[in-house]
Chains A and B, each alone.
Chain A
Amino acid sequence: MEHNILEIDHLHVVFPSSKGETSPVNDVSLRVPAGKTVGIVGESGCGKSMTARAVMGLIHAPGRITEGEIRLCGRDLRKLSEKEYCSLRGSEVSMIFQEPMTSLNPVMKAGHQVEEVLRLHTDIPESELKQRVIDIFRAVGITEPEKRYNCYPHELSGGLRQRVIIAMAMICRPRLMIADEPTTALDVTVQAQILRLMKDLVSDDTGLLVISHDLGVIAKLCDYVYVMYAGRIVEESDIFTLFDDPQHPYTKGLMDAVGSLRRDAEVLSTIPGVVPSLAHLPAGCSFCLRCENGSDRCEKELPGLIQTGPGHKVRCHLMKEAGQ
């Protein structure tokens, strides 16, 4: 039976500011089934990283979750005390952060930083800690792991640092791993290696949530995709359907922008306009201002997520529900 590692229902994250509240995450619901890799794709500022932070319980003040539920293997994370959350982070849910260059503590040896996770969450005796770290270094493809154990972050290349971070995230075998733009800061050749490594991270009883603006990364890694725009999920579907038959005008725009690179087009395809400021979202569909087919209704009335096919949902007034 398929069960979900992560379930998010109607999540709202709000940032109060002097100009009123903004909602970087607005009514987001998603699932990460066991053994699957799920992606969130969208432009920067669309709320995908914030969704990940909400799961980790690491939203920077003054932002906070106002509504919704986050369940990890059935456990309601919003009801946890800070102490319980700390024992969860790193052991049951872990995150691979965006910037390998700055995500490691510059004054601590790489090996010790990974060891720290074991110290915090396990009772492994002191004498075995180092061997464990070296084993995991080997597993994530770090060459000469004994030597790297004693290296400081500045002595490692970007790819190696990202491997150290991945080692850190997986050493306690968490049920859920979240990778926030895991390859964005890396060279293309290194990107491919890291993606291959990440593909092997998922086992039958764990899940991986990948966050990226890069459809290529999503296509290589994910089984299921959520497309986010201005804090809302605008389309969700399994990976093949999404790439074969994108429905939401925003998703289509994204695909065309990538596609035009491949087709050797004279003029690169773009989505006209810019992402609207979260403080000034229209009452209706947040994409209507940039949509070619936007109507009065789009501007005034928020479309719901409409099921257009099996496992395929789209938030758009132009869609017709499957079977209608």
Chain B
Amino acid sequence: MIRNICRRLGESVIVLLGVALMIFVMLRIVPGNPVATMMGEHADLAVIERMTAELGLDQPVYIQFIRYITGALKGDFGTSYSLGKPVSFLMGTAFGNTLKLALFAALFAWALGIACGISAAARKNGLADHLFMGVSLMGVSMPIFMVAMLLQYVFAYHLHWLPISGINDWRGFLLPAVALGWNSAGSISRLVRSTLLDILQEDYIDTARGKGRTQAGVLIFHAFRNALLPVITMMALQFSSLLSGAVITETVFSINGIGRLAVQAIAGRDIPLLEGTALFTTLVVILGNLAADCLYDILDPRIRKEV
């Protein structure tokens, strides 16, 4: 199993390098001079040229890339053109906020999704089933900004229970976390329900009932453990996408996170910042997949055997 994880880690490094190269090359293919944008309309041509040379943007792309990678390995991702601060510093601060937001959102989504999924499956076509599946359909189909604004309207504007935006304390995270997790909760509860219903048809469920397990016991100890396999994969992927920045949620609730940083970088043609955020997103997605694979190995003995 350890060997397997190492192999996947190796593969991940190659993927990461490939993505870094692609981002790097693409950003240099797009027309327009970032330095000119940075200096404004009325900048002197000579100044622009000097600045371009200073930033190393006049060098061939491969040299720029090698420089970038060697810097990145030392933790230096360059300095943001628009904000004038090191990219690593900016991303560090933003990532802290994004991480907290993602954790809150994921906890909310998983707890709600799993609980609703199990209770819906426990009584197929029962009241809970129809209710939860109806609500979850809403969860899956409602756009985030709408959920976010509804929440703001009800809980902040109307009831004054929670701050309307900003994250001065943990209460500030509640609304954005619910808005962000709402969608995931919907899809997780539907996946948990349908997987459980499939598994409840399996022969080993009869065996477990024959042992004297109650209906609830069978659901929790036998069916759920098996249902976890696809659910874990979905959760890991969802979490990595939550971590890589929730552009809309962060914007609506004015949270200074990775998503907002990326939008800023795109708008300002801030190449180092854009490369930094894009690379970071890739890394998080790769790690999420890796985590899903490892969990799969732990949970499913059949896979453990094959590798």
Contacts and interface: CB of A to CB of B under 8 A. Distances in A.
Interface of A: 56, 58, 82-83, 86-91, 94-95, 97-99, 102-108, 113, 116-117, 120-121, 152, 154-155, 165, 168-169
A6 to B, nearest CB: 16
Contact of A117 (B203, B204, B211): B211
Given A152-B301, A152-B302, A155-B305, A105 B204 contact: yes
Contacts of A152: 301-302, 305
A105 B208 contact: yes
A157 to B, nearest CB: 15
B196 to A, nearest CB: 14
Contact of A97 (B207, B214, B226, B305): B207
B225 interface: yes
Given A86-B212, A120-B213, A154 B301 contact: yes
B19 to A, nearest CB: 34
Contacts of B214: 82-83, 86
B222 A90 contact: no
Contacts of A89: 209-212
A109 to B, nearest CB: 8
Contacts of B11: none
Contact of A103 (B203, B221, B300, B301): B203
Interface residues of B, number: 22
B203 A56 contact: no
B103 interface: no
B212 A90 contact: yes
19 contacts: A58-B209, A83-B214, A86-B214, A87-B212, A90-B211, A94-B210, A94-B211, A97-B210, A103-B203, A103-B207, A105-B204, A105-B225, A106-B300, A107-B225, A107-B299, A113-B207, A117-B211, A120-B213, A168-B207
Residue among B208, B221, B226 with max Cβ neighbours from chain A (10 Å): B208
Contacts of B299: 107
Interface in B252-307: 299-302, 305
B204 A88 contact: no
A87 to B, nearest CB: 6
A103 B202 CA distance: 8
A121 B210 CA distance: 12
A105 B227 CA distance: 12
Contacts of A107: 225-226, 299-301
Nearest to A104: B204
A104 B210 contact: no
Given A107-B299, A107-B301, A155-B305, A121 B207 contact: no
A86 B218 CA distance: 11
A121 B208 CA distance: 13
B212 to A, nearest CB: 4
B212 A121 contact: yes
A97 B207 CA distance: 7
Given A104-B204, A106-B301, A152-B302, A88 B209 contact: no
A7 B221 CA distance: 33
B202 A102 contact: yes
A102 B204 contact: yes
B49 interface: no
A88 B214 CA distance: 11
Contacts of B225: 105, 107-108
B198 interface: no
A165 B213 contact: no
A103 B204 contact: yes
Nearest to A56: B210
Given A89-B210, A121-B212, 17 more contacts: A90-B210, A90-B212, A91-B212, A97-B203, A102-B202, A103-B204, A105-B204, A107-B301, A108-B225, A113-B207, A116-B208, A116-B211, A120-B212, A120-B213, A152-B305, A165-B207, A169-B210
A105 B207 contact: yes
Contacts of A97: 203, 206-207, 210
A106 B202 CA distance: 11
B302 A154 contact: yes
Contact of B226 (A90, A106, A117, A169): A106
A168 B211 CA distance: 8
Nearest to A114: B211
Contacts of B209: 56, 58, 89
Contacts of A88: 212
Given A152-B302, A154-B301, A155-B305, A105 B210 contact: no
Contacts of A104: 204, 207
Residue among B211, B221, B305 with max Cβ neighbours from chain A (10 Å): B211
A95 B210 CA distance: 6
A106 B204 CA distance: 8
B213 A86 contact: yes
